[in-house]
Amino acid sequence: MKQFLLIAALASCLSASGCYSGTRPAHIGNAAKQFTVQDSDRKVSLEQFQGQVVVLNFWATWCPPCQEELPSLMAMQERMRGRGIVVVGVSIDVDGNAYHSFLKEHGVNFLTVRDPQQKVAELYGTSGWPESYIIDRQGILRRKIVGPIDWTQPDIIQLLGKL
């Protein structure tokens, strides 16, 4: 019986998307991968944010967890912008009209660019949305966050402030 419970617990953990394996995510502690994205509105390159802390957020307008996370991400950007912390959103939306309507309707206050071919997501190995990467002032990838979080949590604000 004890062995059965152990196997069941292990199987449950392995099948859960949020299960932590005890290893560091790939590329943490290494230089963030450089990219440039050009959409109909702007051209964004990671290198233009040298010397700033970057929260690189992959998202989509049709993604409920992304919508759940958006208010706290915008609140954090408003609070931390003056400290050299910038949110860079990379939307995977294919429909440009839906994307632009969403930005206007929600008053998105951070820089975002549309990458419908998901080239940057592929470069970073992103497969779920939202997914965020925290890059320090030296361009080193420090954290990977899968799924929505409350960006106004004291521990998140403290982490960003230390970088």
CATH of the domain at 106: 3.40.30.10
| Residue 38, in any domain of the structure | yes
| Residue 97, in any domain of the structure | yes
Domain with 70, as residue range(s), is: 30-162
Residue carrying the six token digits 């959409």: 39
Tokens of 38: 């050009």
Q: What is the pLDDT of residues 80-128, one digit of tens each?
A: 999 999 999 999 999 999 999 999 999 999 999 999 999 999 999 998 8
| Residue 154, in any domain of the structure | yes
Query: What domain count does the chain have?
Result: 1
| Residue 85, in any domain of the structure | yes
Whole-model pTM: value is 0.83
Q: Which residue from 96, 81, 117, 82 is spatially nearest to 40, judged by alpha carbons?
A: 96
Q: Tell me how far apart the alpha carbons of residues 14 and 5 are, in angstroms, rounded to a whole number.
A: 14
Q: Tell me how far apart the alpha carbons of residues 160 and 143 are, in angstroms, rounded to a whole number.
A: 10
| Residue 136, in any domain of the structure | yes
